[in-house]
């Protein structure tokens, strides 16, 4: 019996399934990261009580950032494990660690119940999440690059970032529904445990963990990893990563614009809309929800365009636009904040993030050595996220508090754009950087 013309061929089904299974862990990671940022004011009251609202918020974003500082540690430790043992096994381990951190935060009692132990437990949960996240993105990006069809590596790797946008969409939808349906600080009691409004979405994240584990366990190892004649030992991975520190630093600089813009338009936007622009929670959530939709769209567009035009021109164009428009756009927004103006500015940043990120992921996979690809990629991105990206909510809150200028987060984004321009010019200065058509196996 002939196959229906409406059904995709088996090979296409297999690749789509591999993309979904490999990126499923990204959903959990970004779902929890976004929740922590979106519910920062509630979490601040629950675990970091203070008479000063700004101080409590800074403490919360500080813990958010400290967890991100574990990313480089996870990148080198778990990255070496993936480069030595394999992509499939490594991605299952990272998911397990992420799950433990998520459950820890979800069930932690408040400061009112157990005192100073509460923020310590939350910090431990964030450290576990950061340790796992340090290699999650790199491991998934490498996996997608190694299963990509010729000439489409940027398009394939872009779905790593697109999968995170699904998490933002789901989390924002849950938050929007709760704000519409729930009034007051709590929604009642069950078994003597207070279910605060912020805690329900965290429990939703816990409930989907078994399903994501099922998806990850069905992953197949990439043909390229299986074809490697020799897999480096942990010591060899560490040594090679140290020898390639220059490309790791340049990769970090390229990735900074992706991480800072992403955390601004997703994690920080709800707080920015409510606390700074004084818009309603519903307005801020709706903007974030729409940003997630456009982020999902622009990522593969960026990857596909860079497959055809090259990585360098796309990276330089977007970084240049961000440099000259970030502060003016925010200044226009904060002068007379409205839902429409906030949506317009966020859509602009969403375009910048999506196209740049879809291009950057493919570029970074191509410029790191093949035999330590996961480690070097993860280190570069973990440093960008840990030192800059996840610091964005804290930096934005601090800049506004210190300068009194509500548009001052634009300066932070401009600095990220400058780093991206400098690093892109350095990586492609001699024309020897990998192109989207060059086989990955030829690198390293």
172 or 419: which leads in pLDDT: 419
Query: pTM of this prediction?
Result: 0.77
User: With bands split at pLDDT 50, 70 and 90, how would you rate the model's confidence at 311?
Assistant: very high
CA atoms of 181 and 230, how far apart (whole Å)? 57
In contact, 171 and 16? CB cutoff 8 Å = no
What residues have CB less than 8 Å from 174, skipping those under 6 apart?
200, 201, 204
For residue 253, what pLDDT is reported?
A: 95
Average pLDDT of 363-372? 82
Handedness of CA 125, 127, 128, 130 (dihedral sign): positive
User: With bands split at pLDDT 50, 70 and 90, how would you rate the model's confidence at 259?
Assistant: very high
- Please name every residue paired with 194 in a beta bridge, in sequence order, or none if there are none: 189
For residue 315, what pLDDT is reported?
A: 96
User: With bands split at pLDDT 50, 70 and 90, how would you rate the model's confidence at 37?
Assistant: low
For residue 190, what pLDDT is reported?
A: 33
CA atoms of 157 and 361, how far apart (whole Å)? 6
Average pLDDT of 262-272? 84
10-442: what CATH class?
mainly alpha
User: With bands split at pLDDT 50, 70 and 90, how would you rate the model's confidence at 374?
Assistant: confident
């Amino acid at each position: 019996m002939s196959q229906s013309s409406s059904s995709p061929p088996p090979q296409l089904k297999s690749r789509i399934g591999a993309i979904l299974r490999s990126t499923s862990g990204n959903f959990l990671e970004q779902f929890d990261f976004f929740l922590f940022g979106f519910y920062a004011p509630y979490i601040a009251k629950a675990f970091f009580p203070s008479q000063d609202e700004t101080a409590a918020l800074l403490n919360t974003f500080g813990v958010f950032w400290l967890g991100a500082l574990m990313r480089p540690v996870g990148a080198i430790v778990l990255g070496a494990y993936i480069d030595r043992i394999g992509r499939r096994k490594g991605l299952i381990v990272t998911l397990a660690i992420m799950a433990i951190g998520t459950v820890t935060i979800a069930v932690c009692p408040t400061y009112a119940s157990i005192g100073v132990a509460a923020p310590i437990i939350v910090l431990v949960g964030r450290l576990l999440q950061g340790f796992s996240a340090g290699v999650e993105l790199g491991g998934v990006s490498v996996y997608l690059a190694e299963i990509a069809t010729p000439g489409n590596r940027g398009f394939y790797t872009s779905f790593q970032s697109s999968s995170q946008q699904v998490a933002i969409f789901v989390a924002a939808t849950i938050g929007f529904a709760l704000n519409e349906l729930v009034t007051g600080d709590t929604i009642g009691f069950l078994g003597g445990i207070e279910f605060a409004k912020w805690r329900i979405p965290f429990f939703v994240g816990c409930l989907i963990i078994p399903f994501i584990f099922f998806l990850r366990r069905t992953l197949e190892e990439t043909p390229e990893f299986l074809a490697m004649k020799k897999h480096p030992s942990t010591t060899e991975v560490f040594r090679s990563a140290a020898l390639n520190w220059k490309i790791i630093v340049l990769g970090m600089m390229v990735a900074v614009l992706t991480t800072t813009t992403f955390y601004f338009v997703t994690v920080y936007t709800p707080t920015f809309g409510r606390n700074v622009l004084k818009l309603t929670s519903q307005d801020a959530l709706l903007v974030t929800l729409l940003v997630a939709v456009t982020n999902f769209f622009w990522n593969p567009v960026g990857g596909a365009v860079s497959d055809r035009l090259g990585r360098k021109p796309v990276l330089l164009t977007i970084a240049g636009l961000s440099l000259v428009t970030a502060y003016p756009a925010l200044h226009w927004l904060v002068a007379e904040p409205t839902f429409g103006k906030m949506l317009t500015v966020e859509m602009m940043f969403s375009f910048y993030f999506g196209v740049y990120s879809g291009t950057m992921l493919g570029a970074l996979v191509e410029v790191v050595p093949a035999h330590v690809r996961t480690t070097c990629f993860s280190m570069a991105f973990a440093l960008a996220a840990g030192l800059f990206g996840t610091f964005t909510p804290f930096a934005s809150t601090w800049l506004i508090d210190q300068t009194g200028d509500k548009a001052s987060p634009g300066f932070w984004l401009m600095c990220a754009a400058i780093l991206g321009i400098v690093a892109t010019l350095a990586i492609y200065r001699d024309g020897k950087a990998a192109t989207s058509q060059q086989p990955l196996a030829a690198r390293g």
